[in-house]
Amino acid sequence: MLRIALKTLFGHHGKVIGMVIGLAVASLMMTQQPATMMSILGRTYSFINDVSQPDIWVMDPMVQFVDDAKPLADSKLGLVRSVSGVAWAVPIFKTTTVARLPDGNTASGQLIGVDDSSLIGAPAKMVSGLTDDLRRTDAVFVNDEGAKLRFAQKQADGTLRPLQVGDILELNERRAEVVGIARTGPTFSSQPVIYTTYTRARLYAPAQRKIMSFVLVKAKPGHDVLELTHEIREQTGLAAYTAEEFKELSLWYFIRNTGVLINFGMVTLVGFIVGAVVSGIMFFNFTQDNLRHFAVLKAIGATPRQLLGMVLLQAAIVGAIGYGIGIGLASIMAMLSSTFQVKFTYSLLAFSAGGVLVICLLAAGFSLLKVLRLEPAVVFKG
């Protein structure tokens, strides 16, 4: 019976192609759009990912997301260090700055000042140079994306030359030598990231009395991290979050305050609706065209269960093909796109598979109603 179902399905090439295209479009949009959204939203906390050593981030209680650093007095560092359970606590500075490039052009970027002695907060992956090179005079690291794009310099022949180790930048009218290129997560605004030491960052940033953006804290071995965040809050009056909590805080700020979720959500919804309508109508028409054959099967003695199995198999087959093509197209688009580093997580694939499944069930459901209500006596109508 299932073989009959498949042969009947593939005997209607045009309708199968239509159904598969509808489902492929739905699958593509339900995968590619949320993946792009996740990629964009993931950039909102890429800095927290890049600074992987601390367990806890301490900040001004009014901070709403990672780029919303509100400077703290340096005295707060000692306060945090005094909390029992803190193994170490180091400052980190984060601000925006404008760099003058070797060719005289200027470009804005993020300036990160990491602890002078431990270099905690410095990028973990170096493309060229060593982390210790940051201790050299006027030393800065630049992230590779920034070096290749915004900080690249136009050559006489029109080509772009990425910023390289040895190049000299001017930050706040001070010399800064590029001693390393680091690999970091892409930022939300795609700005280049410049790393230097905390002390030197004071000079590279416009003058201000307080510059400490966050205090990075490591819990003592065996000390509960969540409990330590409560203790820091109580004893310092500052906000303290685990890295995961801080990521979530940043993520939700962007979800609440930007149209990212709504825009991508709408496109995803449109994809679902278009897929459901196109595939649903095509599948219904396919069933309608074969209603007489279903009636013959019923008259001969096919049970409702057998007919149900046939229709569901047909829906499942076009669903699987459409889903596969949609995922394939989404993967190709992701590979061709240099702007976003899109990742297809298992949950995302399950989400789009669920969407396709719902479409198939809806299409099959309407068709099944028609088939199961069908009076087999219609076989005798000419």
Partner 1 sequence: MPTVECRQLTKVYGSGDTAVHALRGVDLTVEAGELLMLVGPSGCGKTTLISVIASILDGTSGECRVLGQDVLTMPAGDKPKFRLQHLGFCFQSFNLNPCLSAAENVAVPLLIAGWKYARALARSRELLAQVGISEKADVLPDQLSGGQQQRVAIARAFAQEPDLIVCDEPTSALDSVTGEKVMQLVREMTHRTQRSVIVVTHDARIFKFADRIVAMEDGRIVPPKEEVAGGFDRLPPAYVETTDGRGQA
Provide the binding-site residues for partner 1, judged by CB under 8 A.
1, 3-4, 7-8, 10-12, 292-293, 296-303, 306, 375-377, 379-382
Q: Where are the beta strands (DSSP E) in 74-173?
A: 86-100, 106-114, 125-128, 139-143, 153-154, 160-161, 168-171
Closest CB 324 distance from partner 1, rounded Å: 23
Least separation, in Å, of the C-beta of 14 and partner 1?
13
356: helix, coil or strand?
helix
d(CA 367, CA 282): 10
Tokens at residue 309, please? 């199995």
| Minimum distance from residue 286 beta carbon to partner 1 (Å) | 11
| Contacting residues for 104 by C-beta, under 8 A, at least 6 apart | none
- Using CA atoms, how far apart are residues 243 and 214, in angstroms rounded to an integer? 12
Between residues 264 and 294, which has the closer beta carbon with respect to partner 1? 294
What is the nearest approach in angstroms of partner 1 to the Cβ of residue 319? 20
Q: Which residues are paired to 111 by β-bridges?
A: 95, 194
Q: Residues near 351 by Cβ (< 8 Å), separated by ≥ 6?
A: 30, 31, 34
Nearer to partner 1, 12 or 70 (CB): 12
Work out whether strand 214-219 and strand 56-59 pair parallel, antiparallel, or are unpaired.
antiparallel
> In sequence order, which ranges of 129-209 are alpha helices (DSSP H)?
144-148, 198-204
Please list, in sequence order, all residues whose beta carbon lies within 8 angstroms of the beta carbon of residue 127, skipping any fewer than 6 positions away.
144, 180, 181, 182, 183
Nearest distance in Å: CB 368, partner 1: 16
Nearer to partner 1, 4 or 126 (CB): 4
Which residue is listed with tokens 């095509």? 282
Residue 331, C-beta contacts closer than 8 angstroms, at least 6 positions apart = 344
Q: Where are the alpha helices (DSSP H) in 118-240?
A: 144-148, 198-204, 225-236
Measured from the CB atom, the residue of 43 and 298 that comes closer to partner 1 is 298
Name the minimum Å distance from CB 5 to partner 1. 10
Beta bridge partners, 217, equal 56, 89
Q: Which residue has the tokens 């901070």?
A: 63
Give the helix/strand (H/E) hosting 292: helix 291-300
Tell me if residue 171 falls in helix, strand or coil.
strand
- Planar angle of CA 2, 4, 8, nearest 5 degrees: 120
- If DSSP codes are grouped into helix, strand and coil, which group holds residue 44? coil
**CB of residue 47 to partner 1, shortest distance in Å:** 59
Specify whether the CB–CB gap between 228 and 219 falls below 8 A: yes
Minimum CB distance to partner 1, residue 289 (Å): 10
Closer residue to partner 1, CB minimum distance, 9 or 334? 9
At its nearest, how many Å lie between partner 1 and the CB of residue 278? Answer: 22
CB of 354 to partner 1, least distance (A): 31
Token couple for 21: 């295209």
Strand partners, 176: 169
User: Which residue lies nearer to partner 1 by CB, 3 or 256?
Assistant: 3
